[in-house]
Structure 1
Amino acid sequence: MTDLPTGIDDTAARLQAHGYLADRQLATALYLALRLQRPLFLEGEPGTGKTEIAKTVAAMLERPLIRLQCHEGLDLAGAAYEWNYPRQMIEIRLAERDAGATREQLAADLFSPRFLTQRALLQAIDPAQPLPPVLLIDELDRADEPFEAYLLEVLSDFQITIPELGTVKAAAPPIVVLTSNRTREVHDAVKRRCLYHWVGFPDADRELAILRQRVPGASEALSRQIVAFIQALRGTDLYKLPGIAETIEWSRALLELDALQLDPETVNNTLGVLLKYQDDIAKVQGSEAARLVEQVRAALRG
């Protein structure tokens, strides 16, 4: 296990060493979350690197990553724990056959840890963990609102109370990162237990730096054109703006096509890498793509 960062600059440098270029505000929020042992709540548009920050922290601190992918209908059984009822039924049948255990002994045994199936939340706070892990609670806004109540005990005390077994508390707090694409508002009770940071789209300079690091095979000229085009595209009225993840993926696609520079035909043929809704693609295809390409060329010439 690697020691925690010693400061904001050290945090940013260690993230960069693992391929994540964070601005100073994000580096500050992460540093404070690590030092204060508080969960870090990240909101922002899809594709802006929220999930990636948890993966990078796990790599840079050499901690295991436990990921809870939220979805509609997620409940305690899917997120924290559930009792293994088939095994319990087998145990009951065996006890009935052997008649060797009292009712009280059987009840105590049935609700022991060996019949408990751990899900992500319980795994993260299991005191038997050799290292405090990084717990990623991803896309919390996709879960139903009542699910957030399950999280409060974990986020505030790093423990889970199991009625049949008692309270399970982490020997050392895990590093917790929550993300939300803000498709709905997350309850204040969750946010109060966390440090908060909004992850926005990067400016042109930082996006170019990210591209240089993540797609080193792209030429400087092509990288600048890609970044300028993406920045201009985000200024248009689209349903879903492309994030940094799409910028990286589009750059790799253009490299596969041996593109040396942007042209309207190549842009039109690869819009499906950048945009995920047909209405957005139809809005950009053709004359709008040509206009944006010419705008990029003029800006870079000037």
Structure 2
Amino acid sequence: MIRNVQTVIPGIATSDGAGVKLRRSLGGQQQVRLDPFLMLDEFSSNDPNDYVAGFPAHPHRGFETVTYMLEGHMLHEDHLGNQGHLKTGGVQWMTAGRGIIHSEMPQQVSGAMRGFQLWINLPAKEKMKAAGYQDIQVEDIPKLSLANGGSVKVIAGSYESKGEIIQGPIQGITTAPLFLDVHLPPGEEFEHVVPEAHNAFLYVYEGELEVGEPLKSVPKQAAIVLGKGDQLKVKAGATGAQLIVLAALPLHEPIVQHGPFVMNTRAEIEQAIHDYQNNRFVVS
């Protein structure tokens, strides 16, 4: 069954970090989420004043952060000693777990800085596991050419091409996320199996797109939440389309969020604040 559009969550202009301008769709309000996805930000600017201050050191606990850089260069550093250069086409996949303090700072003073940051919830049994970090370079992300002249990058999950299953570099996560970056030329269609048990949405960042059956036009720079089904069907408009496709298994667990901490109870949030204030993130 083809998945049709269920809800459209427009991106809202805001800022985060030390004043980085961005557009937030999922997570613009705490109740506007799609289990297990907590937040999606798109940052995009050619003006260094919009991004050069970056994201100085700050904590996280209880979820995963995914940064996908379409264009630009940022440096990740954290209290565990990890350091990674996030460059055009690359991905940073960080599991905050029981606690991590990290920074993401632009390594450029001019030009375009563009990409996405996604927050994915962790199940209760994994919220206090050890923090982890993966720095994935563009050459490690499979990119397949489509028969119609388009392309698809497989960041997480899998994609079937000519009878072969292509695996993205991110595997083995409880929520079994799918993360694709799809480029389509004008008027071309794209279909992909999305497991029925997954919640799914897409985000058009360039061009024009129609979704579902019958096809329905959707706006750019908005989270397009998809309804029930097991198949994604989209068609690019007259200018083509560039979009990310995201899906994952819902957790069906209570969520209590306080800024960069996402837990299951208020008591766990209070513990996270206490641990951070008393330097327990560093020694945990």
Same fold (TM over 0.5): no
Q: TM-score range by the shorter chain?
A: under 0.3
Larger Rg: 1
Q: Which has the higher strand share?
A: 2
